[in-house]
């Protein structure tokens, strides 16, 4: 057995033929529409606007959303979504492309789950069709994971809220038509937090790009500023003062997606390291024939196996509604440590070749940090798990 991206995937008893058909279809699309151009997009710092319409044509944007709004939901489960994360990573982007093209995956659920019928009809269909875009605005310059202490305010004034404050590290910020935004409508702590859908074309909304990043270079990332922005009260998502719960329920699928992405990145690093080790010769024999290299590869596979098994269990638990948030938080840590280990070992095996831009290992090594921090850093995840476990 060779250790390729596919052969290094453990048998998954939960996958059905239709899951593999979706993988084949998606991989074919990525090989045609993404892989030949990804390096250019990374250097340019953006992806073409035409990609949203193309993604809608194949159904990537609509996957798992209600059919009444143009989504594709019949027969779709979390395994289909995991395959999306895996295959985009295999194509060469460990989250950067998805964090832009599919950012509605975290921006849209608050609208779908808590918005009024009028708001849902206005926002969801054009987003799923690739005609409009939506982002999620949580993180602020003063902090990210401490959601209960956000400082952006929304003060009621008749039929409007007056919003003041700022958000940063917002994926899709520069091109979003709406932002599902965490605001403070009440007193201190989580009970004073609400969620508000803010159209970005309102007077007083400003934004600046964050384009000098270590990784995810093709992704649109920016800061948002709200200066006395008047937002209709009807744009409230859920009840006033209940925004903290809206945000918390949004985190679990995001963290699962990040963990799947990191495991796939680790597996891609393994594939590239094995291919190089079987071809490159030093001291009269293949790298793969040196014991130290063989042990590196075996250690990579060991960690990948453990992470895959963990994610298989948690994905099925998520589908069945019994996924423990603490276990999921620790899975994200497991995946980030595995990705970091495999990226480093693959870089050691490839040597100088892994230091050249355009190399998958080089890119993934740079993208370890954003994956380990985004959606909750390793330290925050461990602390969250400890609290979930009743410590």
Per-residue pLDDT of 129-181, as tens digits, reads 999 999 999 999 987 677 878 999 999 999 999 999 999 999 999 999 999 99
**How many angstroms separate the CA atoms of 36 and 30, rounded?**
9
Q: Dihedral, CA atoms, 176, 250, 16, 73, nearest 10 degrees?
A: -60
Distances (CA, A) of 68 to 46, 63, 171, 228, 230: 32, 13, 27, 35, 30
**How many angstroms separate the CA atoms of 290 and 380, rounded?**
40
What per-residue confidence (pLDDT) applies to 22? 97
For residue range 78-128, list pLDDT tens digits in order.
999 999 999 999 999 998 899 999 999 999 999 999 999 999 999 999 999
What per-residue confidence (pLDDT) applies to 250? 83
Mean of per-residue pLDDT scores for the chain: 94
Listed as ranges, residues in the chain with pLDDT below 50 are none
What per-residue confidence (pLDDT) applies to 1? 56
Is 362 in contact with 354 (CB distance < 8 Å)?
Answer: yes
Looking at residue 72, the DSSP 8-state letter turns out to be B
What per-residue confidence (pLDDT) applies to 358? 84
**How many angstroms separate the CA atoms of 9 and 2, rounded?**
11
Looking at residue 63, the DSSP 8-state letter turns out to be B
Question: Count of alpha carbons within 13 Å of 209, Cβ hemisphere only?
Answer: 11
Contacts of 379 (CB under 8 A, 6+ apart): none
**Judging by DSSP bridges, how do beta strands 221-232 and 281-282 pair with one another?**
unpaired
User: What is the pTM (predicted TM-score) of this model?
Assistant: 0.94
What per-residue confidence (pLDDT) applies to 286? 94
Looking at residue 134, the DSSP 8-state letter turns out to be E
Q: C-alpha 20: how far from its chain's center? A: 22
**How many angstroms separate the CA atoms of 336 and 90, rounded?**
16
For 299, phi and psi rounded to 5 degrees? -65, -35
């Amino acid at each position: 057995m060779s250790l390729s991206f596919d052969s290094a995937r453990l048998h998954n008893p939960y996958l059905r033929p239709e899951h593999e058909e979706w993988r084949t279809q998606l991989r074919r699309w990525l090989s045609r529409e993404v892989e030949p151009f990804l390096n250019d997009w990374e250097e340019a710092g953006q992806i073409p606007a035409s990609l949203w319409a193309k993604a809608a044509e194949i159904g990537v944007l609509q996957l798992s959303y209600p059919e009444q709004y143009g989504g594709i939901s019949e027969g779709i489960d979390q395994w289909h979504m995991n395959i999306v994360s895996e295959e985009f990573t295999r194509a060469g982007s460990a989250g950067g492309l998805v964090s832009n093209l599919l950012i509605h995956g975290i921006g849209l659920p608050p609208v779908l789950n808590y918005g009024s019928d009028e708001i849902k009809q206005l926002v969801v269909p054009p987003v799923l069709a690739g005609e409009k875009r939506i982002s999620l605005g949580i993180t602020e310059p003063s902090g990210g994971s401490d959601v209960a202490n956000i400082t952006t305010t929304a003060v009621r004034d008749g039929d409007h809220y007056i919003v003041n404050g700022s958000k940063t590290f917002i994926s899709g910020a520069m091109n979003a038509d709406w932002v599902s935004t965490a605001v403070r409508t009440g007193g201190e702590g989580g009970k004073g937090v609400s969620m508000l859908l803010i159209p970005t074309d309102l007077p007083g909304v400003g934004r600046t790009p964050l384009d000098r990043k270590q990784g995810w270079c093709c992704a649109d990332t920016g800061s948002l500023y709200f200066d006395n922005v008047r937002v209709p009260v009807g744009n409230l998502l859920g009840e006033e003062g209940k925004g903290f719960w809206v945000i918390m329920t949004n985190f679990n699928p995001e963290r699962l997606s990040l963990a799947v992405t990191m495991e796939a990145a680790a597996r891609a690093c393994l594939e590239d390291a094995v291919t190089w080790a079987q071809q490159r010769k030093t001291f009269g024999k293949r790298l793969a024939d040196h014991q130290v290299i063989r042990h590196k590869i075996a250690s990579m596979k060991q960690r990948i196996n453990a992470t895959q098994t963990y994610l298989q269990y948690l994905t099925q638990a998520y589908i069945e509604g019994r996924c423990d948030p603490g276990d999921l938080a620790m899975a994200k840590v497991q995946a980030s440590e595995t990705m970091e280990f495999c990226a480093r070992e693959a870089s050691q095996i490839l040597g100088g070749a892994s230091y050249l831009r355009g190399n998958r290992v080089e890119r993934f090594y740079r993208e370890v940090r954003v994956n380990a921090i985004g959606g909750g850093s390793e330290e925050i995840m461990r602390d969250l798990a400890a609290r979930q476990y009743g410590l």
